[in-house]
A and B are shown apart, each in its own frame.
Chain A
Protein backbone atom coordinates (compact mmCIF):
# COMPACT_ATOMS: atom_id res chain seq x y z
CA UNK A 1 0.00 0.00 0.00
CA UNK A 2 1.28 3.46 -0.89
CA UNK A 3 1.28 6.00 1.91
CA UNK A 4 2.08 8.88 -0.45
CA UNK A 5 1.09 9.18 -4.10
CA UNK A 6 2.06 12.18 -6.17
CA UNK A 7 0.89 12.49 -9.78
CA UNK A 8 1.99 15.27 -12.12
CA UNK A 9 2.22 17.85 -9.37
CA UNK A 10 3.02 21.35 -10.49
CA UNK A 11 3.42 24.40 -8.29
CA UNK A 12 3.87 27.81 -9.78
CA UNK A 13 4.92 30.94 -7.85
CA UNK A 14 4.43 33.97 -10.07
CA UNK A 15 5.99 33.03 -13.40
CA UNK A 16 8.38 30.43 -11.95
CA UNK A 17 7.71 26.71 -11.55
CA UNK A 18 8.83 25.55 -8.09
CA UNK A 19 7.68 22.03 -9.04
CA UNK A 20 7.11 20.89 -12.61
CA UNK A 21 5.32 17.62 -13.31
CA UNK A 22 6.56 15.65 -10.29
CA UNK A 23 5.29 12.06 -9.90
CA UNK A 24 6.29 9.31 -7.47
CA UNK A 25 4.86 7.09 -4.76
CA UNK A 26 6.11 5.87 -1.39
CA UNK A 27 4.99 2.49 -0.05
CA UNK A 28 4.28 1.94 3.64
CA UNK A 29 7.39 1.33 5.72
CA UNK A 30 9.88 2.97 3.39
CA UNK A 31 12.49 5.62 4.15
CA UNK A 32 12.33 7.81 1.08
CA UNK A 33 14.92 10.51 0.48
CA UNK A 34 14.28 13.61 -1.57
CA UNK A 35 17.64 15.00 -2.63
CA UNK A 36 18.34 18.33 -4.20
CA UNK A 37 20.08 21.66 -3.78
CA UNK A 38 18.47 24.56 -1.89
CA UNK A 39 15.55 26.01 -3.84
CA UNK A 40 14.94 22.85 -5.84
CA UNK A 41 11.36 22.46 -4.50
CA UNK A 42 11.82 19.94 -1.67
CA UNK A 43 10.17 22.04 1.04
CA UNK A 44 7.40 23.11 -1.36
CA UNK A 45 6.50 19.47 -1.88
CA UNK A 46 6.37 18.80 1.88
CA UNK A 47 4.10 21.83 2.26
CA UNK A 48 1.76 20.50 -0.44
CA UNK A 49 1.66 17.05 1.17
CA UNK A 50 0.85 18.54 4.59
CA UNK A 51 -1.86 20.95 3.31
CA UNK A 52 0.18 24.09 3.93
CA UNK A 53 0.13 24.85 0.21
CA UNK A 54 -2.18 24.01 -2.68
CA UNK A 55 -0.69 22.57 -5.84
CA UNK A 56 -1.26 24.54 -9.05
CA UNK A 57 -2.17 21.30 -10.83
CA UNK A 58 -1.83 17.54 -10.42
CA UNK A 59 -2.89 15.27 -7.60
CA UNK A 60 -1.27 14.39 -4.30
CA UNK A 61 -2.65 11.93 -1.80
CA UNK A 62 -1.52 10.90 1.68
CA UNK A 63 -3.00 7.84 3.40
CA UNK A 64 -5.14 7.46 0.23
CA UNK A 65 -6.80 10.81 0.94
CA UNK A 66 -6.34 14.07 -0.98
CA UNK A 67 -3.43 15.99 0.55
CA UNK A 68 -5.70 19.03 1.04
CA UNK A 69 -7.46 17.06 3.82
CA UNK A 70 -4.27 16.83 5.88
CA UNK A 71 -5.30 19.97 7.79
CA UNK A 72 -7.94 17.88 9.61
CA UNK A 73 -7.17 16.97 13.22
CA UNK A 74 -7.75 13.25 12.62
CA UNK A 75 -5.15 13.25 9.84
CA UNK A 76 -2.68 15.38 11.79
CA UNK A 77 -2.70 12.67 14.47
CA UNK A 78 -1.27 10.32 11.85
CA UNK A 79 1.77 12.27 10.70
CA UNK A 80 4.62 14.23 12.25
CA UNK A 81 6.63 17.01 10.67
CA UNK A 82 9.95 18.71 11.29
CA UNK A 83 10.92 21.57 9.01
CA UNK A 84 13.06 24.68 9.29
CA UNK A 85 9.76 26.46 10.01
CA UNK A 86 9.30 24.51 13.25
CA UNK A 87 9.75 26.38 16.50
CA UNK A 88 10.01 25.93 20.26
CA UNK A 89 8.84 27.97 23.24
CA UNK A 90 12.07 29.59 24.43
CA UNK A 91 10.96 30.44 27.97
CA UNK A 92 9.76 26.91 28.67
CA UNK A 93 11.88 23.88 29.50
CA UNK A 94 12.27 20.91 27.17
CA UNK A 95 9.81 18.98 29.32
CA UNK A 96 7.25 21.83 29.30
CA UNK A 97 7.44 22.04 25.51
CA UNK A 98 6.87 18.30 25.22
CA UNK A 99 4.07 18.48 27.79
CA UNK A 100 2.17 20.81 25.45
CA UNK A 101 2.53 18.35 22.57
CA UNK A 102 1.61 15.42 24.82
CA UNK A 103 -1.64 17.12 25.72
CA UNK A 104 -2.41 18.23 22.17
CA UNK A 105 -2.01 14.63 20.96
CA UNK A 106 -3.79 13.29 24.07
CA UNK A 107 -0.96 10.92 25.03
CA UNK A 108 -0.02 9.27 28.36
CA UNK A 109 2.65 10.92 30.55
CA UNK A 110 5.09 8.10 29.80
CA UNK A 111 5.34 9.29 26.18
CA UNK A 112 7.56 12.20 27.32
CA UNK A 113 10.09 9.88 29.02
CA UNK A 114 10.06 7.60 26.00
CA UNK A 115 10.69 10.33 23.44
CA UNK A 116 13.35 12.02 25.60
CA UNK A 117 15.24 8.74 25.74
CA UNK A 118 14.85 8.45 21.99
CA UNK A 119 16.53 11.82 21.34
CA UNK A 120 19.01 11.29 24.17
CA UNK A 121 17.87 14.29 26.23
CA UNK A 122 16.53 12.63 29.39
CA UNK A 123 19.17 14.31 31.55
CA UNK A 124 18.41 17.78 30.16
CA UNK A 125 14.62 17.73 30.48
CA UNK A 126 14.45 20.65 32.96
CA UNK A 127 16.71 22.87 30.85
CA UNK A 128 15.18 26.00 29.35
CA UNK A 129 15.05 25.90 25.55
CA UNK A 130 16.71 29.33 25.31
CA UNK A 131 19.84 27.79 26.86
CA UNK A 132 20.12 24.92 24.39
CA UNK A 133 22.65 24.53 21.57
CA UNK A 134 21.40 24.39 17.98
CA UNK A 135 21.90 20.63 17.87
CA UNK A 136 19.93 20.10 21.08
CA UNK A 137 17.10 22.30 19.80
CA UNK A 138 16.93 20.20 16.66
CA UNK A 139 16.61 17.08 18.78
CA UNK A 140 13.82 18.67 20.84
CA UNK A 141 12.02 19.61 17.61
CA UNK A 142 12.37 16.03 16.44
CA UNK A 143 10.99 14.84 19.78
CA UNK A 144 7.94 17.11 19.27
CA UNK A 145 7.44 15.66 15.78
CA UNK A 146 7.56 12.02 16.86
CA UNK A 147 6.08 12.08 20.38
CA UNK A 148 2.85 10.55 19.03
CA UNK A 149 4.70 7.80 17.09
CA UNK A 150 3.25 8.85 13.73
CA UNK A 151 2.54 6.54 10.81
CA UNK A 152 4.29 8.99 8.51
CA UNK A 153 7.11 11.37 9.32
CA UNK A 154 8.13 14.36 7.19
CA UNK A 155 11.66 15.53 7.87
CA UNK A 156 13.07 18.56 6.11
CA UNK A 157 16.87 18.41 6.41
CA UNK A 158 16.71 17.05 9.98
CA UNK A 159 20.44 16.82 10.58
CA UNK A 160 21.53 20.07 8.93
CA UNK A 161 22.34 21.67 12.30
CA UNK A 162 23.84 18.60 13.91
CA UNK A 163 27.38 17.37 14.39
CA UNK A 164 28.27 13.84 13.17
CA UNK A 165 27.78 12.27 16.63
CA UNK A 166 24.29 13.70 17.04
CA UNK A 167 23.44 12.92 13.40
CA UNK A 168 24.42 9.29 13.93
CA UNK A 169 22.19 9.16 17.01
CA UNK A 170 19.27 10.56 15.00
CA UNK A 171 19.83 8.07 12.14
CA UNK A 172 19.80 5.22 14.63
CA UNK A 173 16.55 6.52 16.09
CA UNK A 174 14.94 6.97 12.68
CA UNK A 175 15.81 3.39 11.71
CA UNK A 176 14.26 2.21 14.97
CA UNK A 177 11.08 4.21 14.25
CA UNK A 178 11.03 2.83 10.72
CA UNK A 179 11.35 -0.75 12.01
CA UNK A 180 8.28 -0.07 14.16
CA UNK A 181 6.34 0.84 11.02
CA UNK A 182 6.80 4.59 10.50
CA UNK A 183 7.18 5.62 6.87
CA UNK A 184 9.73 8.41 6.57
CA UNK A 185 9.86 11.13 3.92
CA UNK A 186 13.16 12.91 4.26
CA UNK A 187 14.62 15.80 2.32
CA UNK A 188 18.34 16.44 2.28
CA UNK A 189 21.08 17.88 0.12
CA UNK A 190 23.58 15.40 1.54
CA UNK A 191 24.06 12.32 -0.68
CA UNK A 192 26.01 10.53 2.07
CA UNK A 193 23.08 10.95 4.45
CA UNK A 194 20.65 9.57 1.88
CA UNK A 195 22.99 6.68 1.19
CA UNK A 196 23.20 5.87 4.87
CA UNK A 197 19.55 5.82 5.77
CA UNK A 198 17.22 5.78 2.75
CA UNK A 199 15.72 2.76 0.98
CA UNK A 200 15.04 4.85 -2.12
CA UNK A 201 15.92 8.35 -3.22
CA UNK A 202 14.69 10.83 -5.81
CA UNK A 203 16.91 13.61 -7.08
CA UNK A 204 15.09 16.88 -7.61
CA UNK A 205 16.58 19.68 -9.65
CA UNK A 206 14.81 22.86 -10.74
CA UNK A 207 11.45 21.42 -9.77
CA UNK A 208 11.81 18.18 -11.74
CA UNK A 209 12.74 14.66 -10.66
CA UNK A 210 15.94 13.74 -12.50
CA UNK A 211 16.17 10.15 -11.30
CA UNK A 212 14.60 7.85 -8.74
CA UNK A 213 15.80 4.52 -7.30
CA UNK A 214 17.99 2.94 -4.63
CA UNK A 215 20.84 5.14 -3.30
CA UNK A 216 23.44 2.78 -4.82
CA UNK A 217 21.83 2.93 -8.25
CA UNK A 218 21.29 6.68 -8.54
Chain B
Protein backbone atom coordinates (compact mmCIF):
# COMPACT_ATOMS: atom_id res chain seq x y z
CA UNK B 1 0.00 0.00 0.00
CA UNK B 2 1.77 3.15 -1.20
CA UNK B 3 1.42 6.71 -0.04
CA UNK B 4 2.29 9.88 -1.91
CA UNK B 5 3.02 12.72 0.52
CA UNK B 6 2.41 15.22 -2.28
CA UNK B 7 -1.13 13.96 -2.85
CA UNK B 8 -1.83 13.57 0.88
CA UNK B 9 -0.65 17.16 1.38
CA UNK B 10 -2.96 18.37 -1.43
CA UNK B 11 -5.91 16.70 0.34
CA UNK B 12 -4.81 18.16 3.70
CA UNK B 13 -4.66 21.70 2.26
CA UNK B 14 -8.04 21.28 0.57
CA UNK B 15 -9.57 20.00 3.83
CA UNK B 16 -8.04 22.87 5.78
CA UNK B 17 -9.59 25.44 3.42
CA UNK B 18 -12.97 23.71 3.60
CA UNK B 19 -12.79 23.32 7.38
CA UNK B 20 -12.04 26.99 8.02
CA UNK B 21 -15.12 27.93 5.97
CA UNK B 22 -17.36 25.29 7.57
CA UNK B 23 -18.41 26.99 10.81
CA UNK B 24 -20.80 24.18 11.82
CA UNK B 25 -17.82 21.85 12.22
CA UNK B 26 -14.98 24.26 13.02
CA UNK B 27 -16.88 25.56 16.08
CA UNK B 28 -16.24 22.13 17.63
CA UNK B 29 -12.67 23.27 18.34
CA UNK B 30 -13.78 25.56 21.16
CA UNK B 31 -15.91 23.04 23.11
CA UNK B 32 -12.99 21.16 24.72
CA UNK B 33 -11.48 24.51 25.71
CA UNK B 34 -14.80 25.61 27.26
CA UNK B 35 -14.96 22.28 29.12
CA UNK B 36 -11.41 22.76 30.39
CA UNK B 37 -12.24 26.29 31.60
CA UNK B 38 -15.34 24.98 33.39
CA UNK B 39 -13.43 22.17 35.14
CA UNK B 40 -10.36 24.28 35.86
CA UNK B 41 -11.57 25.18 39.35
CA UNK B 42 -12.11 21.52 40.35
CA UNK B 43 -9.45 20.21 42.72
CA UNK B 44 -6.80 18.67 40.41
CA UNK B 45 -6.30 15.84 42.92
CA UNK B 46 -9.82 14.60 42.13
CA UNK B 47 -9.10 11.58 39.93
CA UNK B 48 -10.88 11.24 36.64
CA UNK B 49 -11.74 14.88 35.98
CA UNK B 50 -8.94 15.31 33.49
CA UNK B 51 -9.80 11.96 31.90
CA UNK B 52 -13.47 12.97 31.53
CA UNK B 53 -12.49 16.18 29.74
CA UNK B 54 -9.96 14.32 27.55
CA UNK B 55 -12.39 11.54 26.61
CA UNK B 56 -15.08 14.07 25.66
CA UNK B 57 -12.52 16.07 23.71
CA UNK B 58 -11.43 13.00 21.73
CA UNK B 59 -15.03 12.23 20.78
CA UNK B 60 -15.85 15.84 19.85
CA UNK B 61 -12.58 16.76 18.13
CA UNK B 62 -11.23 13.63 16.53
CA UNK B 63 -14.26 11.40 16.13
CA UNK B 64 -17.12 13.79 15.37
CA UNK B 65 -15.09 16.12 13.16
CA UNK B 66 -13.65 13.27 11.08
CA UNK B 67 -17.09 11.64 10.74
CA UNK B 68 -18.58 14.93 9.51
CA UNK B 69 -15.71 15.55 7.05
CA UNK B 70 -16.04 12.05 5.55
CA UNK B 71 -19.86 12.09 5.52
CA UNK B 72 -19.92 15.47 3.78
CA UNK B 73 -17.61 14.14 1.06
CA UNK B 74 -20.03 11.24 0.59
CA UNK B 75 -23.10 13.48 0.63
CA UNK B 76 -21.68 15.75 -2.08
CA UNK B 77 -20.16 12.90 -4.12
CA UNK B 78 -16.70 14.38 -3.79
CA UNK B 79 -15.35 11.23 -2.11
CA UNK B 80 -16.23 9.23 -5.23
CA UNK B 81 -14.57 11.87 -7.42
CA UNK B 82 -11.49 11.70 -5.19
CA UNK B 83 -11.48 7.91 -5.50
CA UNK B 84 -11.36 8.25 -9.30
CA UNK B 85 -8.15 10.30 -9.19
CA UNK B 86 -4.68 8.75 -8.77
CA UNK B 87 -4.93 9.32 -4.99
CA UNK B 88 -4.66 5.95 -3.24
CA UNK B 89 -6.61 4.81 -0.19
CA UNK B 90 -3.67 5.75 2.02
CA UNK B 91 -3.26 9.17 0.35
CA UNK B 92 -6.90 10.02 1.03
CA UNK B 93 -7.08 8.61 4.55
CA UNK B 94 -3.71 10.04 5.60
CA UNK B 95 -4.50 13.44 4.06
CA UNK B 96 -7.94 13.63 5.64
CA UNK B 97 -6.84 12.34 9.04
CA UNK B 98 -3.83 14.68 9.23
CA UNK B 99 -6.03 17.77 9.59
CA UNK B 100 -8.03 16.22 12.43
CA UNK B 101 -4.81 14.98 14.04
CA UNK B 102 -3.15 18.41 14.01
CA UNK B 103 -6.27 20.20 15.29
CA UNK B 104 -6.81 17.63 18.05
CA UNK B 105 -3.18 17.78 19.15
CA UNK B 106 -3.18 21.59 19.37
CA UNK B 107 -6.51 21.83 21.22
CA UNK B 108 -5.61 18.99 23.62
CA UNK B 109 -2.33 20.77 24.36
CA UNK B 110 -4.30 23.89 25.31
CA UNK B 111 -6.74 21.80 27.41
CA UNK B 112 -3.85 20.15 29.30
CA UNK B 113 -2.31 23.56 29.97
CA UNK B 114 -5.60 25.04 31.22
CA UNK B 115 -6.24 22.10 33.56
CA UNK B 116 -2.65 22.20 34.80
CA UNK B 117 -2.20 18.45 34.48
CA UNK B 118 1.32 17.21 35.22
CA UNK B 119 1.90 13.80 33.61
CA UNK B 120 3.64 10.97 35.41
CA UNK B 121 5.82 10.37 32.39
CA UNK B 122 5.71 12.95 29.60
CA UNK B 123 6.70 10.40 26.94
CA UNK B 124 4.08 7.89 27.97
CA UNK B 125 1.51 10.71 28.15
CA UNK B 126 2.36 11.94 24.63
CA UNK B 127 2.20 8.33 23.36
CA UNK B 128 -1.23 7.67 24.84
CA UNK B 129 -2.58 10.98 23.49
CA UNK B 130 -1.23 10.29 19.98
CA UNK B 131 -2.64 6.76 20.00
CA UNK B 132 -6.00 8.00 21.26
CA UNK B 133 -6.23 10.69 18.55
CA UNK B 134 -5.49 8.09 15.85
CA UNK B 135 -7.95 5.66 17.42
CA UNK B 136 -10.83 8.16 17.65
CA UNK B 137 -10.09 9.48 14.16
CA UNK B 138 -10.41 5.90 12.88
CA UNK B 139 -13.75 5.56 14.70
CA UNK B 140 -14.82 8.85 13.07
CA UNK B 141 -13.78 7.52 9.65
CA UNK B 142 -15.83 4.36 10.21
CA UNK B 143 -18.89 6.36 11.32
CA UNK B 144 -18.49 8.71 8.34
CA UNK B 145 -18.21 5.84 5.88
CA UNK B 146 -21.37 4.24 7.27
CA UNK B 147 -23.31 7.51 6.94
CA UNK B 148 -24.78 8.95 3.77
CA UNK B 149 -25.16 12.52 5.05
CA UNK B 150 -23.66 14.80 7.69
CA UNK B 151 -26.92 14.59 9.65
CA UNK B 152 -26.73 10.81 9.63
CA UNK B 153 -23.09 11.00 10.79
CA UNK B 154 -24.12 13.23 13.71
CA UNK B 155 -26.59 10.53 14.77
CA UNK B 156 -24.21 7.61 14.14
CA UNK B 157 -21.73 9.22 16.48
CA UNK B 158 -24.19 9.27 19.43
CA UNK B 159 -23.70 5.60 20.45
CA UNK B 160 -19.95 6.16 20.22
CA UNK B 161 -20.20 9.14 22.57
CA UNK B 162 -22.38 7.11 24.94
CA UNK B 163 -20.19 3.99 24.97
CA UNK B 164 -16.76 5.60 24.98
CA UNK B 165 -17.37 8.43 27.43
CA UNK B 166 -19.75 6.38 29.58
CA UNK B 167 -17.50 3.32 29.92
CA UNK B 168 -15.44 4.61 32.90
CA UNK B 169 -18.70 5.29 34.80
CA UNK B 170 -20.04 1.87 33.84
CA UNK B 171 -17.07 0.16 35.49
CA UNK B 172 -18.32 1.50 38.85
CA UNK B 173 -21.18 -1.03 38.56
CA UNK B 174 -18.95 -4.07 38.02
CA UNK B 175 -19.72 -5.48 41.48
CA UNK B 176 -23.45 -5.56 40.73
CA UNK B 177 -23.21 -6.39 37.02
CA UNK B 178 -20.07 -8.48 36.32
CA UNK B 179 -20.67 -8.19 32.57
CA UNK B 180 -19.63 -4.52 32.84
CA UNK B 181 -16.08 -5.75 33.44
CA UNK B 182 -15.71 -5.68 29.66
CA UNK B 183 -15.92 -1.87 29.86
CA UNK B 184 -12.57 -1.87 31.66
CA UNK B 185 -10.92 -2.75 28.36
CA UNK B 186 -12.33 0.19 26.41
CA UNK B 187 -9.75 2.86 25.56
CA UNK B 188 -11.60 5.56 27.51
CA UNK B 189 -11.41 3.48 30.71
CA UNK B 190 -7.77 2.65 30.02
CA UNK B 191 -7.09 6.39 29.74
CA UNK B 192 -8.59 6.87 33.21
CA UNK B 193 -6.34 4.09 34.58
CA UNK B 194 -3.33 5.60 32.83
CA UNK B 195 -3.93 9.09 34.21
CA UNK B 196 -4.53 7.73 37.71
CA UNK B 197 -0.99 6.35 37.96
CA UNK B 198 0.57 8.44 40.68
CA UNK B 199 3.60 10.65 40.11
CA UNK B 200 5.44 9.10 43.02
CA UNK B 201 6.55 5.51 43.19
CA UNK B 202 5.23 4.38 39.81
CA UNK B 203 6.92 1.77 37.67
CA UNK B 204 6.79 1.36 33.89
CA UNK B 205 4.78 -1.77 34.61
CA UNK B 206 1.98 0.51 35.83
CA UNK B 207 1.96 2.50 32.60
CA UNK B 208 2.35 -0.31 30.08
CA UNK B 209 -1.00 -2.17 30.36
CA UNK B 210 -3.19 0.85 29.46
CA UNK B 211 -0.71 1.87 26.75
CA UNK B 212 -0.70 -1.59 25.18
CA UNK B 213 -4.49 -1.98 25.30
CA UNK B 214 -4.89 1.48 23.69
CA UNK B 215 -2.30 0.50 21.04
CA UNK B 216 -4.24 -2.69 20.26
CA UNK B 217 -7.47 -0.70 19.83
CA UNK B 218 -5.67 1.79 17.59
CA UNK B 219 -4.25 -0.91 15.33
CA UNK B 220 -7.52 -2.81 15.01
CA UNK B 221 -9.71 0.25 14.38
CA UNK B 222 -7.24 1.75 11.87
CA UNK B 223 -7.23 -1.52 9.91
CA UNK B 224 -11.05 -1.65 10.00
CA UNK B 225 -11.30 1.94 8.69
CA UNK B 226 -8.86 1.23 5.82
CA UNK B 227 -10.66 -1.99 4.83
CA UNK B 228 -14.05 -0.28 4.99
CA UNK B 229 -12.81 2.62 2.83
CA UNK B 230 -11.51 0.18 0.24
CA UNK B 231 -14.88 -1.55 0.19
CA UNK B 232 -16.51 1.81 -0.47
CA UNK B 233 -14.39 2.10 -3.62
CA UNK B 234 -16.71 -0.50 -5.10
CA UNK B 235 -20.41 -0.06 -5.74
CA UNK B 236 -21.27 -3.71 -5.06
Q: Smallest CB-CB separation from A102: which chain B residue?
A: B10
Cβ–Cβ contact A87 & B81, under 8 A:
yes
Q: Does A85 contact B (CB under 8 A)?
A: yes
> Would you mind naming 8 contact pairs between A and B with Cβ atoms under 8 Å apart?
A47-B235, A85-B77, A87-B73, A87-B78, A103-B9, A104-B10, A104-B11, A105-B86
Q: Does A26 contact B (CB under 8 A)?
A: no
Q: Does B80 contact A (CB under 8 A)?
A: yes
Give a binary string over B45-67; 1 marks a CB under 8 Å from any A CB, 0 the rest: 00000000000000000000000
Cβ–Cβ contact B86 & A104, under 8 A:
yes
Q: Which residues of A contact B85 (CB under 8 A)?
A: 76, 101, 104-105
Q: Do A92 and B14 form a contact, CB below 8 Å, given A101-B85, A104-B86, A104-B87? A: yes
B interface residues, Cβ below 8 angstroms from A: 2, 4, 6-7, 9-11, 13-14, 17-18, 21-22, 73, 76-82, 84-88, 233-236
Q: Which residues of B contact A86 (CB under 8 A)?
A: 77, 80-81, 84
A52 CA to B79 CA, complexed, in Å: 13
Cβ–Cβ contact A103 & B10, under 8 A:
yes
Interface of A: prevailing SS: loop
Q: Which residues of A contact B78 (CB under 8 A)?
A: 87-89
Q: Which residues of B contact A85 (CB under 8 A)?
A: 77, 80-81
Name A63-95 residues within 8 Å CB distance of B: 71, 73-74, 76-77, 81, 85-92
Sample of 4 further A-B pairs with CB below 8 A, known A73-B86, A89-B76: A86-B77, A88-B78, A92-B14, A100-B13
Q: Which residues of B contact A106 (CB under 8 A)?
A: 6
Interface size class for chain A? Answer: 20 to 34
A53 CA to B235 CA, complexed, in Å: 6
Q: Does A50 contact B (CB under 8 A)?
A: yes
A200 CA to B17 CA, complexed, in Å: 44
A81 CA to B236 CA, complexed, in Å: 19
A105 CA to B73 CA, complexed, in Å: 20
A interface residues, Cβ below 8 angstroms from B: 47, 50-54, 71, 73-74, 76-77, 81, 85-92, 96, 100-101, 103-106, 144
Cβ–Cβ contact B86 & A52, under 8 A:
no
Cβ–Cβ contact B86 & A76, under 8 A:
yes
Cβ–Cβ contact B235 & A52, under 8 A:
yes
Cβ–Cβ contact B234 & A53, under 8 A:
yes
Q: Smallest CB-CB separation from A76: which chain B residue?
A: B86
Shortest beta-carbon distance from A209 to chain B in Å: 22
